[in-house]
Structure 1
């Protein structure tokens, strides 16, 4: 017999997402290397640390804004603006294709920077604000990249856990459906009383195994992968993202719950035969 399952499709989805995440992590590594190779400009005199100050709150002008960036009106030079331009180009060549995978030009580059690395970095790199590409600016961008790499590492950990959970569930479902298919080859009317009793017991054991799988899956969904105190990703959030376009929100729970229902129907049929022969 065949029981509808979404688990195989879910495994394909997770595998594709793990590949995409690995590609994105490599892209960030390339961007970080490119960032390190771009010369920084000297801080303009009297500007409190450069055209964009990061986090020290010293010097003239207003204090730091979100992410530690504050815009300072003042002179820039060709080297500093060229540095920001080169950072934007490096980002466009490495990270952007993975953030906008269809190659669409509809999203402005700085909007992608803001989405990936935050408002502070987007402001620092904007050509409209003419920030200097100073060492503090470069350091802050590198820090944002490290944070993003940490997030991707944690996300991949949730994907790895999801892949393991899907493998385990898939093995249980496949073994159970294979057993049902073999059992269905012999009509209940052809079984003796003892064979019916053994069939009834076997169905009960498989129902218990599937119910244990459902409980284990629920526990998996409530787990959180983390890296230190700063980054944490709940498994349930990852699952919601992965299967957003599926016809069911929880492929494993849906498949196993349906299998349990099938097993119970089979057990009721066996029990009816047992009662009639008692």
Structure 2
């Protein structure tokens, strides 16, 4: 007896996403190292020590506040803006390939910076604004990178939890389908009354186990992973993202629900035989 399952495909999808997330985290760590190696320009006179007003604005994206970075980078002096160019190049070499894997996508570099690190960092690094790469600007970018790494760490925790949930579900599904296949080799007409009764009880136990798995899976979907108060990811959101291109939105629930239906059909067939022989 064959029961369609989406669990194996889901496990492959999660494994691939975990690999991609690990690669992206390493890319950000390389970018952070490159950022630390780029010399900063002296803060311009009158900029309040280079950090006046930092963190007081309201920014977009996941990076630091736009008002803070703009206050830092808004004033320029005659120093070279070579530092910002080097930061852009480092970002393009390390992070961008993981954010825009298709090189033919055509997304502008600063659009990728904005998507990954927030509007404020994109403004600070834009060649059109001619900002100096001062120490406060470097610190603000580093802070945005740390925030992004924290987000990736939390996302990886949700992936780890999903992988564990899929392993557990896969074991139950595989064991149940194997049992069904073995049981199906013997026609019900060839079983005696006691054997039919045992089969009926066994099917009931399998149904209960699958229903417990469904309840456990629902509970998993309602959990959330977090790292501090600022970063949190709900498991259900991760699942929606992972299986967006699947034919079913919830691979485990769909597979197990169908398996329960199959088990109930088998139990009804056994019950009919028991009633006829009673």
How many angstroms does 1:71 deviate by? 5.1
- 2:24–2:95: 8 Å Cα contact kept in structure 1? yes
Structure 1 unaligned regions, length at least 5: none
Following superposition of structure 1 onto structure 2, how do residues 170-209 of structure 1 map, counting pairs within 5 Å?
Answer: 170-209=170-209
- 2:41–2:135: 8 Å Cα contact kept in structure 1? yes
SS of 2:103's equivalent in the other structure is coil
How many angstroms does 1:59 deviate by? 20
Structure 2 CA distance, aligned partners of 1:201 and 1:58? 63
Structure 2 CA distance, aligned partners of 1:228 and 1:210? 35
- 2:203–2:263: 8 Å Cα contact kept in structure 1? yes
Structure 2 CA distance, aligned partners of 1:215 and 1:58? 42
Change over 3 Å in CA distance of 1:58–1:273 after alignment to 2: closer
Structure 2 CA distance, aligned partners of 1:80 and 1:49? 19
* Aligned twin of 1:122: 122
Structure 2 CA distance, aligned partners of 1:264 and 1:172? 16
SS of 1:232's equivalent in the other structure is strand
- 1:64–1:70: 8 Å Cα contact kept in structure 2? no
Change over 3 Å in CA distance of 1:62–1:48 after alignment to 2: farther
Change over 3 Å in CA distance of 1:28–1:62 after alignment to 2: closer
SS of 2:101's equivalent in the other structure is coil
Deviations 1:91-134 (A, max 9, x none): 00000000001113511000000000001100110111111111
Change over 3 Å in CA distance of 1:64–1:211 after alignment to 2: closer
SS of 2:233's equivalent in the other structure is strand
How many angstroms does 1:222 deviate by? 0.3
Structure 2 unaligned regions, length at least 5: none
Structure 2 CA distance, aligned partners of 1:23 and 1:160? 15
Structure 2 CA distance, aligned partners of 1:228 and 1:24? 21
Deviations 1:199-233 (A, max 9, x none): 00000000000000000000000000000111100
Structure 2 CA distance, aligned partners of 1:136 and 1:8? 48
- 1:61–1:72: 8 Å Cα contact kept in structure 2? no
How many angstroms does 1:249 deviate by? 0.1
More off after superposition, 60-69 vs 3-12: 60-69
Aligned length: 278
- 1:225–1:234: 8 Å Cα contact kept in structure 2? yes
* Aligned twin of 1:3: 3
- 2:5–2:255: 8 Å Cα contact kept in structure 1? yes
Change over 3 Å in CA distance of 1:108–1:63 after alignment to 2: closer
- 1:53–1:70: 8 Å Cα contact kept in structure 2? no
How many angstroms does 1:85 deviate by? 0.5
How many angstroms does 1:78 deviate by? 6.3
Change over 3 Å in CA distance of 1:60–1:121 after alignment to 2: closer
Change over 3 Å in CA distance of 1:48–1:58 after alignment to 2: farther
Change over 3 Å in CA distance of 1:59–1:111 after alignment to 2: closer
The runs of at least 4 aligned residues of structure 1 exceeding 6 Å deviation read 56-65, 72-75
